[in-house]
Amino acid sequence: MNTKGSEALLERAQRIIPGGVNSPVRAFRSVGGTPRFIERGEGCRIYDVDGNAYIDYVGSWGPLILGHRFGPVMEAIRSVLEVGTSFGAPTEREIELAEEIRAAVPSMEMVRLVNSGTEATMSALRVARGFTGRALTVKFEGCYHGHVDSLLVKAGSGMATLGIADTAGVPAGFAETTLALPYNSVEALEASFGSHGDQIAAVIVEPVVGNMGCVPPQPGYLQAMRELCTKHSALLIFDEVMTGFRVSFGGAQELYGIKPDLSTFGKVIGGGLPIGAYGGRADVMSHVAPSGNIYQAGTLSGNPLAVSAGLAMLRHLRAHPEVYRQISSAAERICAAAPEGVTANRVGSMFTYFFGSGPVKDWETAKVADTARFKSFFHHMLELGVYLPPSQFEAAFVGAAHDEEAVETTVDAIRAWKG
């Protein structure tokens, strides 16, 4: 496979952009080789600058549930170009997107739009602290909630991929406001509430973890979390930036029947443009400025391009619930083809092949995966034109544009691996 064009661009990029990339995992550091510089995407495929085509299971890390250049989303963006790209004043479509989110996710009684998932979790946390008057946050090892200072503690995603235990640049005082517990352990959560119950403002969780690879909640776990938060008057925050409108239209909270106090969204709700949202209980959200004294703002928040793209995406998904069955069953077929000595974890259209044979239920059991075998598999697939996340600790995504032929090609490529 010719990658000369990507190699040249990487060299040039590295001279001006740290590591040559604008988000760490894109650099292929843990798998080695040349990160592909992408020229364009269409449906389930991306094309690099050397003209190589790949079936794309990254999907911009989650947003592109309907594939690249999805017609109605492109149309919505085009219509905004006719009227202006940013006003810094309220527009009707922002209400429409908020109403669309609330209709799908009833716990989102009030919604505030921001520009990224990171902004959403950062803001939700501030609201939880402002509302409860408490300082501590509980998070879980291997979960990633964006690059918020106090949440980069035992975080998954790029930090797990690069083996960075604790990032530099976060003062101890910030990190000390975070209690990091093992995921899927009710006992650990009980113990934490036992010792700090009256100081915990919020528990923030990826209800289905995507950022240490895909790790589902064990039966009863989220329910127990809900009960403990209620008992100790801490707010439960579901970080659905990845799972929202992905594992089902109403997100993980619909799938598991749990009502969090606050939730965060991003990725799918922007249709491939930068966006985030946080919201939840009206009695909590009404404390956000200008109705209340918890401050949060954004010059480009509610940006017309992002809001219109997201609206087109959500409206299509609402009108086509069969999409979720289709993408789940495609992911199921891919997981069924997992080679021996691989644990395939999947929830809906999110999945990860963990290169180890035991069950993976938390960071302890995820981190023992054989990353050398993963690397061999990753490059085998890439050579055959299948683009998986370049990390053992990231989830892959199937979208509605992955047709029969693409899934078949993928399964054949998996079966051809001699690792």
Ligand X SMILES: *Cc1c(COP(=O)(O)O)cnc(C)c1O
Query: Which 263-282 residues touch ligand X, going by CB under 6 A?
Result: 266, 276
Closest C-alpha to 285, from 28, 89, 101: 101
- Output 192 or 264, the one with its CB closest to ligand X: 264
Tell which one of 48, 50, 56, 239 touches ligand X (CB under 6 A).
239
Q: How many residues belong to the site for ligand X (CB under 6 A)? A: 15
145 binds ligand X (CB under 6 A): yes
d(CA 214, CA 58): 13
Distances (CA, A) of 273 to 74, 83, 84, 115, 311: 11, 18, 16, 9, 11
Minimum distance of ligand X from residue 240's CB (angstroms)? 7
Contact between 356 and 123 under an 8 Å Cβ cutoff? The reply is no
Contact between 165 and 171 under an 8 Å Cβ cutoff? The reply is no
What are the φ/ψ torsions at residue 406 (nearest 5 degrees)?
Answer: -65, -45
Q: Going residue by residue from 121 to 140, which x/- string records binding to ligand X, judged by CB under 6 A?
A: x-------------------
- Output 115 or 365, the one with its CB closest to ligand X: 115
20 binds ligand X (CB under 6 A): no
Task: Please indicate whether residue 56 is annotated as part of the active site.
Answer: no
241 binds ligand X (CB under 6 A): yes
146 binds ligand X (CB under 6 A): yes
54, 144, 221, 324: which is the annotated catalytic residue? 144
210 binds ligand X (CB under 6 A): yes
> Which residue's Cβ has the minimum distance to ligand X?
117
Size of the chain in residues: 419
- Output 13 or 214, the one with its CB closest to ligand X: 214
267, 361, 367, 375: which is the annotated catalytic residue? 267
206 binds ligand X (CB under 6 A): yes
- Output 6 or 137, the one with its CB closest to ligand X: 137
242 binds ligand X (CB under 6 A): yes
Binding site for ligand X (CB under 6 A): 116-118, 121, 144-146, 206, 210-211, 239, 241-242, 266, 276
Positions marked catalytic: 144, 239, 267
